[in-house]
Structure 1
């Protein structure tokens, strides 16, 4: 599967609008989890795999390759993988979604309590 790139057809967009290319990349299995696990520190392949519920090494290698090609993750020898400057900016842009999801969880829990 080719790396989604702005300007080329991607899942959901024949024109390859930048946002659609990004959503295609972020929608791939394990990508958001990898970004989340790298949010605070550099991790070795093994550490990252353990934090990602022991996902298959093949899939982790593929996702890391894609994220490196997209300049979202970098390999910092000999320490491991980290978010690039662009990757940190992406995670910062996603943080409002994190806050929204926490509020959503609380509202759903309150609604369930009212219904029971």
Structure 2
């Protein structure tokens, strides 16, 4: 289980930022979060949005994200928890920065 305070790759201390970066750095984690940003999605639809990632891998990522309190499973499918929605807000900021960077005109703090 991934949670702040526990050791992860690259951190013996389990600092929250290191635990988060370890989780986000795992294959497909960011993509799953990105695809859930607009609301609940069934497993099948989420898998399709993620370019038909293997169901085993998708299940593993969803399990980790659920254990971390970032994703929930409701009647309508998988969705971001309140913590996950807050994280998605930060990812939107990174997306804006990345678009500027790609255009060659981003400045520190954009």
> TM-score over 0.5 for the alignment?
yes
Q: 1:23 aligns with which of 11, 21, 29?
A: 21
Q: 2:95 aligns with which of 98, 105, 108?
A: 98
1:114 corresponding residue in structure 2: none
SS at 2:72's partner residue?
Answer: strand
- Which of structure 1's runs of 4+ aligned residues deviate more than 3 A? none
Q: 1:9 aligns with which of 7, 12, 24?
A: 7
2:34 corresponding residue in structure 1: 36
SS at 2:103's partner residue?
Answer: helix
Gapped regions of structure 1 (runs ≥ 5): 109-116
Gapped regions of structure 2 (runs ≥ 5): 106-110
- Report which of the two structures shows the higher radius of gyration computed on alpha carbons: 1
Give the alignment's TM-score, normalised by structure 1: 0.87
Given that 2:2 and 2:67 are in contact with CA atoms closer than 8 Å, whether structure 1 keeps it comes out as no
User: In angstroms, what is the RMSD of aligned CA positions?
Assistant: 1.1
Aligned residues: 105
Q: CA deviation at 1:4?
A: 2.4
